[in-house]
Amino acid sequence: MTAKATELKLDIGRIGTVSAILMQPDNARACYVLAHGAGTDMRHASMEKIAVGLAERGIATLRFNFPYTENKQGRPDQPAVAHATIRAAVEEAARLCPGLKLVAGGKSFGGRMTSQAQSKTPLPGVKGLAFLGFPLHADKKPSTERAEHLAGVEIPMLFLQGTRDGLADLGLLRPVIAALGPRAMLHEIEGGDHSFAVLKKSGRTNEGALAEVLDTLAAWIDRLA
């Protein structure tokens, strides 16, 4: 399946503009608004692999920079700025991909900011949120405060989590997701870390783990109403 990558600029009102890339395969059946993690940007190799892998599965992606990565600043943006950026990206995805099922989320920080935005005011047209490693807490600081806003999200959620993820103690995350009821689903990537990388001694490969992530995500998107 061929996919075309289109470079774009997103206008975030008074905040300014950021770069974005729409990767749309022929006969796409959905579009995933894919936000990057705190320490990367939309052009990071991991983001490219996700976008290409989803295109091979018939899912378009719109990935974008947050203002702090666009302007090469170290610290992530304040939540209000991140939320506004995500809203602009969702609106652009809806405009560029009319008729396609729309989902949103992303890696780590990007996924968490997307869920915060959704909990405050629903993202127009978005049918579900998918998290590629939800950052439940800081490294070696287990807690669940970062998940409290998820109770305000009323659309389906998919949590893809590595069993070695240092930012999400599964002993804490499993009950958090269970409490959200049938709208939330957890899929554990055996041996995966926060980026779904696996140890060589596991007998798995990083490529195999990522394929499991993307297969699970694509199947979940197809099941969304």
Mean pLDDT of the region 19-29: 97
Burial 57-88 (b: 16+ CB within 10 A, else e): bbbbbbbbbbbbbbeeeeebbeeebbbbbbbb
Instruction: Return the pLDDT at 2.
Output: 81
**Residue 60 confidence class, pLDDT cut points 50, 70, 90:** very high
Token pair recorded at residue 85 = 């950026």
Structural domains of the chain, with CATH: 3-223 (3.40.50.1820)
Q: In this model, does residue 38 exceed pLDDT 90? A: yes
Q: Whole-number mean pLDDT of the chain?
A: 97
What mean pLDDT is predicted for residues 166-170? 98
Q: What span, in angstroms and rounded, lies between the C-alpha atoms of 24 and 111?
A: 21
H or E stretch covering 214: helix 206-223
**Quick one: tokens of 31?**
């579009």
> Furthest-apart CA pair in the chain: how many Å?
50
Give 128's strand partners: 103
Q: What is the pLDDT of residue 1?
A: 64
**What global pTM score does this model have?**
0.97
